[in-house]
Amino acid sequence: MTVLSNRQTEILNIARAHGRVMVEDLARRFEVSAQTIRKDLNDLCDHHALTRIHGGAIIASGVENLAYEARRFVAAEEKKAIGAAAAGLIPNGCSLFINIGTTTEEVASALTSHEDLLVITNNLNVAMLLYRYPRIEVIVAGGAVRRADGAVIGSTATGLIGQFKVDYAIIGASAIDQDGALLDFDYREVQVAQAIISNARSVMLVADSTKFRRSAPVRIADISQINTFVTDVALPARLAEICQARDIQVVEANPGARDADEADTELPPAHTSVP
């Protein structure tokens, strides 16, 4: 294996700290050309340390998830757009589950102007976002709190979820396989997610396009169990075909941001675009 240069090592350290790095930012930081940075990123990808995204790179996925604070910086603008689009599909006066995830938290942030909502969540960050709004009632699942990100996980949380039947479930995923498998890293979190899916009349998946290029070891569900998928770009061809066949509504929250390098491999489904 080729030894990394000092600049490449520093780039990797920045990516580990913030979840992602962008070509233009790195070019300014190191006072080199964008072409030089792209070569550095490609070298790091060849070492399986990074994965390329549009305009930059993220830490390559493995058997462990990124730290919560790092995940917040990955595709941050895309997640915000997804959150706003998803919230726009939620009517006033309904009940919903909101699961763990930085994208589901963006949905919660965009729901604060809604009225007469009942929100059941195993995400302490969601509870802290919503509890102060008088027209939103918040119920928090009990159980062990995962220190890394405020997730309430385990059998106690699963049991409370099972006592409800709600209108909508808002769920995320750490990775989405091309065959439609929704994947995560922690089987205890997956058990709660499966209970949420089973006890909702309509299930909405919120996930940005970086999840199409990641892998995780634990199956949450299959895309066929989802009613609506809110993402930021057109889906990869195989996944788009599955959504079309299963009559899953696909909403693109930021359809203009697709990576041109991937355009030839993607088939736009029948979908709704949200500017």
Query: pTM of this prediction?
Result: 0.72
How distant, in Å, are the alpha carbons of 18, 58, 262 from that of 212? 20, 13, 12
For residue 124, pLDDT beyond 50: yes
CB 45 within 8 A of CB 35: no
User: Residues 198-239: pLDDT tens digits?
Assistant: 999 999 999 998 888 888 888 999 999 999 999 999 999 999
Phi, psi of 179 (to 5 degrees): -85, 5
Confidence bin at 274 (pLDDT 50/70/90): low
User: Residues 142-174: pLDDT tens digits?
Assistant: 888 888 778 888 889 999 999 999 999 999 998
Place of tokens 């929100």: 119
DSSP letters spanning 139-182: EE--SEEETTTTEEESHHHHHHHTT--EEEEEE--SEE-TTSEE
Lowest mean pLDDT among 20-24, 192-196, 200-204, 213-217: 213-217
Q: Identify the pLDDT of residue 260.
A: 33
Residue 86 DSSP class: H
Q: Identify the pLDDT of residue 85.
A: 97
Please provide the average confidence, as pLDDT, over all residues in the chain: 86
H or E element at residue 22: strand 20-22
* 84/200 Cα distance (integer angstroms): 21
Mapped onto helix, strand or coil, the DSSP state of residue 203 is strand
For residues 202 and 67, the model is more confident at 202
* 62/175 Cα distance (integer angstroms): 11
Share of the chain above pLDDT 90, in %: 58
For residue 70, pLDDT beyond 90: no
Confidence bin at 46 (pLDDT 50/70/90): confident
For residue 14, pLDDT beyond 80: yes
* 233/141 Cα distance (integer angstroms): 33
Q: Identify the pLDDT of residue 73.
A: 63
Taking the CA atoms of the chain, what radius of gyration do you get in angstroms? 19
Q: Where are the alpha helices (DSSP H) in the chain?
A: 6-18, 23-30, 34-46, 68-73, 76-88, 102-110, 124-130, 155-161, 187-198, 237-245
